[in-house]
Amino acid sequence: MRTAAAIAAAVRAGEVTATTVAQQAIAALKADAYVAVTRVLEQRALAEAAAVDAKIAQGQDPGPLAGVPYGVKDLFDVEGLPTTAGSAVRANVAPASADAEAIRRLKAAGAVLTSTLNMDEFAYGFATINATYGTTRNPHDPARLAGGSSGGSAAAVAAGLLPFALGSDTNGSIRVPASLCGLYGLKPAHASLPLKGTFPFAESFDDIGPFTGSLADTALVWGVLRGEPIPEAQGKTRIARLGGRFRENADPAQLAAIDAIAPSAPLLELPDIARARSAAFLITAYEGGHLHRATLATSALAYDPAVRDRLLAGALLPEELYAKANAFRADFLSRLNSLIADFDLLLAPATPCTAPLIADPRIMIDGALSPARADLGIHTQPITFTALPALAVPLLRPGQLPLGLQLIGKSGGEGAMLALAAQIEHDGITGVTMPERLIAGELT
């Protein structure tokens, strides 16, 4: 898997042109076997690559992502195209008049936009089962889900089609597919990366972030999107392990890795964590449902039935219940901040299990089978509720299905997340492994 940093270095050094890199990416995207891609933006990509090559020919600096191809989840505005948010409901809306701010920043850094990528309709799900575009398949085992709702972005990177891709995370929609596809996936501190020009789901929780196959690429893309480098960690990092619900529904390999990373770190049980997840569900449902009320009133049958029913339920929630959930959130955050005041990082599983089968998309929660589309985010949704940044890191598991952990930091202390991620990668606990089938040359 070529990294974004390596591609940019080769383009800047004149070892390869951005146009050649773009042509290679376009060919790979057109041969997508994982239902990851919704649109290949060939004309745009070649024009952006040519502009990078022209800058280099003129002796100008094309930027830190010179010639690096990437894709975006299909809810980012791309100038001249309708922003579908993965739905047939929006297939014929007016084209976006400008790029999303995140795309604008990446273009200014020399990156080349090649594609839009599959997702759960309106980002409502953890599976990327899409009634219009199909179900995204996991490159590590195409019979299994890639996770969601940013599954197309994760699959495109895991399959080696692109070195990085952007997704969005409302309740775990980056961290879940990163865990299931064996990638690094970032949910930043809430609203710390630009959301302008992205179709919303639940604005209280929506964030954007990258999927990458290397930690260095995560830092590189993150810095470009922030507009400044990630601050370095200061002093000794104080770590806690999350207990309670976070250890009740987890794979033994995740718990072993967490305990190996910080064997003497205290086990913290977050207050009212089950209620926090329920409140997050309620706030998400209310905000998502009310966003779609007008469209549901006129075009309900155009929605994916599984998404439509959840949005309708949210639209019917009373405002006073939504207010109670937000009041609980304020109290929860006050107690949480006191509990974690003496710690810089928290460790938790990212998903409760490996990727479930597409033919039977259920997972075991509390000893009973539960729909993956709703419950793969059992460990990510409560962290979203806190607004803290979280980095999904892949356990090093050659020959096995991927699994990830969450490194949960504090706003302003993101450098500690990167520092610990680098340390545990160096220690051989985490790291990206290319799917065995792709190593063997089996591409379909």
Catalytic residue, chosen from 153, 173, 179, 204, is 173
**Token digits for 7?**
């591609």
End-to-end CA distance of the chain: 17
Active site residue 187: no
Q: Is residue 435 left, alpha or beta, with left meaning phi > 0 and alpha meaning psi from -120 to 50?
A: beta
Nearest to 126 by CA among 153, 142, 152, 149: 149
Peptide bond into 149 cis (omega under 30): yes
Q: How far is CA 149 from CA 86, 177, 313, 430, in A?
A: 10, 8, 19, 23
- Round to whole Å and give the CA distance between 351 and 181: 11
Burial class (CB in 10 A: 0-12, 13-18, 19+), 438: middle
- Round to whole Å and give the CA distance between 418 and 19: 32
- Round to whole Å and give the CA distance between 441 and 12: 30
Active site residue 150: no
* Dihedral sign from CA coordinates of 26, 147, 102, 303: positive
Catalytic residue, chosen from 73, 107, 187, 410, is 73
Catalytic residue, chosen from 87, 107, 115, 149, is 149
Asked whether the beta carbons of 253 and 144 are under 8 A apart, the reply is no
Residues 6+ apart with CB under 8 A from 156: 29, 32, 34, 36, 37, 71, 115, 117, 162, 165
Active site residue 173: yes
Other C-beta atoms within 10 Å of 426: how many? 10
Asked whether the beta carbons of 432 and 1 are under 8 A apart, the reply is yes
Give the residue numbers marked as catalytic: 73, 149, 173
